[in-house]
Chains A and B, each alone.
Chain A
């Protein structure tokens, strides 16, 4: 059992507080994504778990054992670095088996284990290659295999796919998730890419300014964001200032009745309304909030309608076959699909 528990962990760099009393419970075998903009403390948290940084305050438990004071090299972690940090002076198999060599495993066993892992990451037979002979995607796979070679307590990855191009990145996300599910290893990935987090994670932890904003399953975060930051960071959304009172949400001077399924965090007062573009409906100007179409973006799979209400921009995504009669400059009436209004602080 290698569940990971973080107990009010803080880290200061000089006067800068990178991590502010973060607590987390990660169950055994879960795939966790630490998600947030740069400087939010996600990498610091990962490095603290790995033991590469010393916490200012708080404790780290791995499998129930307090690891806070244990030096890095005795923690039994696997890690993939942002630069990959493969050893150019060793061949692929020796790179993968390096953690085993450190632990005094004999050469034949090391070679066998390296080959086994190369098959896992779909690079069979490449053990004797040099690192500089590999492509970016292959290096990525070698780094993953190396991180897994000792059956780590926790598998840590720091922006592992950021160097790959978009299509290869998507492919590796799926593959990484499949490998993790097959091995059942507790995994923590740092990423700033929300799609990456949604693709891979059991549990997404959204961070900002060293504080956890929300932790939950991807769709939980998508449908019930805890605040405006999470709503804006996970997926695309329209965020509009609003007022809640007497069963209606007033946006830009137009009152929308609260319907069943709407997630309204407050009973009355000022807040933010978040509506996903796919839940913005268009009709005649007198049927809703009047808005002027400023741009039409037809992507084939969907039609993006960019609209303006004063200074507020609102985007609607229409399914294929809809909105062919729309034109730039036209005024339409905006409505929101019932049960898809989310009011957050």
Chain B
């Protein structure tokens, strides 16, 4: 009854609008990218339309393997750290008063308003030798000489986590705050210590949300382009940086396009795998 009335209230052709937009702004560019990825590279300038696998063949090189491994492991690490921090934080947050919860969520949301550029430059200043925490540690006598902590893998992961953390909290917050507090109390009465109730009852009941937050941060940081250049060394450059490097600076558009296609497939595969794992465990 209600389903049919909803259908009559919303005409079907309304669905054409988003479909058209998706086609125009997603499918068409993706098609162009696919076509370019199999085009022939013209060293002197741009590319010529053709059909060859040369660009994809370069994936087999050791260099490319290393870039891929760095990209994925940097994103996985950032996602893992974000979720590991955001989950207990969100559980703690949901136990606070309503006023405090709202305030903290607003602060988190305003952190999202900062652009990657501002975050990147702020962190590189904070971690620098001349004006950063290295000076502070030296002043406190913790280290002998002021030193820089950037560029480094540590700086890069810190930056990515700074960006990913609010997203992780926002994904986790609704299910965490909806969790029946009596479930935790029940576990406590039945003999579970605090940590045991946390890992044995809270975590398994929110597995879906945890996987969701992990996937979101992972995909989000996988496409990160600016921070690896600002905070990382060249060996920490992610695939996105290399794509830009190939497309813009090396004038190798076909290879850049092929890498983009590959990045997308890898992201899709990992998202699929993770959600499959989440569902299986959740239902078992």
Query: Are the CB atoms of B186 and A85 closer together than 8 Å?
Result: yes
Partner of A81, one of B182, B193, B196, B201: B182
Partner of B189, one of A50, A87, A89: A50
A146 to B196, CA, bound (A): 18
Query: Are the CB atoms of A85 and B182 closer together than 8 Å?
Result: yes
Query: Are the CB atoms of B185 and A85 closer together than 8 Å?
Result: yes
Minimum C-beta distance from A100 to chain B (A): 9
Q: Taking the complex as formed, is A88 at the interface, i.e. its CB lies under 8 A from any CB of chain B?
A: yes
Query: Are the CB atoms of B205 and A72 closer together than 8 Å?
Result: no
Taking CB atoms and an 8 Å cut-off, the chain B residues in 160-182 that contact chain A are: 180, 182
Set of chain A residues within 8 Å of B185, measured between Cβ atoms: 52, 72, 81, 85
Q: Taking the complex as formed, is B192 at the interface, i.e. its CB lies under 8 A from any CB of chain A?
A: yes
Minimum C-beta distance from A280 to chain B (A): 44
Taking CB atoms and an 8 Å cut-off, the chain B residues in 173-220 that contact chain A are: 180, 182-183, 185-193, 196-197, 201, 204-205, 207
Query: Are the CB atoms of A103 and B191 closer together than 8 Å?
Result: yes
Query: Are the CB atoms of B189 and A79 closer together than 8 Å?
Result: yes
Query: Smallest CB-CB separation from B204: which chain A residue?
Result: A89
Return the CB mask of A36-58 against B: 1 if under 8 Å, else 0: 00000000000000111000000
Partner of A98, one of B190, B205, B282: B190
Given contacts A88-B205, A89-B204, A102-B196, contact A79 B191 (CB under 8 A): no
Given contacts A87-B201, A88-B205, A89-B205, contact A52 B192 (CB under 8 A): no
Set of chain B residues within 8 Å of A198, measured between Cβ atoms: none
Size of the chain A interface, CB-CB below 8 angstroms: 25
Query: Are the CB atoms of B191 and A73 closer together than 8 Å?
Result: yes
Set of chain A residues within 8 Å of B197, measured between Cβ atoms: 73
Set of chain B residues within 8 Å of A52, measured between Cβ atoms: 185, 188-189
Set of chain A residues within 8 Å of B182, measured between Cβ atoms: 81-83, 85
Query: Are the CB atoms of A83 and B189 closer together than 8 Å?
Result: no
Minimum C-beta distance from B194 to chain A (A): 8
Query: Are the CB atoms of B193 and A73 closer together than 8 Å?
Result: yes
Q: Taking the complex as formed, is A99 at the interface, i.e. its CB lies under 8 A from any CB of chain B?
A: yes
Query: Smallest CB-CB separation from B197: which chain A residue?
Result: A73
Query: Are the CB atoms of B190 and A99 closer together than 8 Å?
Result: yes
User: Chain B CB within 10 Å — which of A50, A89, A99 has the most?
Assistant: A89
A115 to B63, CA, bound (A): 60
Set of chain A residues within 8 Å of B205, measured between Cβ atoms: 87-89
A83 to B178, CA, bound (A): 13
Q: Taking the complex as formed, is A150 at the interface, i.e. its CB lies under 8 A from any CB of chain B?
A: yes
A77 to B282, CA, bound (A): 29
Query: Are the CB atoms of A146 and B190 closer together than 8 Å?
Result: yes
Query: Are the CB atoms of B201 and A73 closer together than 8 Å?
Result: no
Set of chain A residues within 8 Å of B204, measured between Cβ atoms: 89
Set of chain A residues within 8 Å of B183, measured between Cβ atoms: 85, 87
Given contacts A82-B182, A85-B180, A102-B196, contact A77 B201 (CB under 8 A): no
Query: Smallest CB-CB separation from B284: which chain A residue?
Result: A89
Set of chain A residues within 8 Å of B192, measured between Cβ atoms: 73, 102
A99 to B180, CA, bound (A): 19
Query: Smallest CB-CB separation from A83: which chain B residue?
Result: B182
A144 to B96, CA, bound (A): 31
Set of chain B residues within 8 Å of A75, measured between Cβ atoms: 189
Query: Smallest CB-CB separation from B207: which chain A residue?
Result: A89
Query: Smallest CB-CB separation from A76: which chain B residue?
Result: B191
A135 to B255, CA, bound (A): 59
Query: Are the CB atoms of A83 and B180 closer together than 8 Å?
Result: yes
Set of chain B residues within 8 Å of A99, measured between Cβ atoms: 190-191
A267 to B180, CA, bound (A): 54
Minimum C-beta distance from B205 to chain A (A): 5
Q: List 7 A-B contacts (CB under 8 A).
A: A50-B189, A52-B185, A73-B189, A78-B190, A87-B186, A99-B191, A150-B190
Which A-B residue pairs are the 8 nearest by beta carbons?
A85-B186, A85-B182, A99-B190, A102-B191, A89-B204, A81-B182, A79-B189, A72-B188
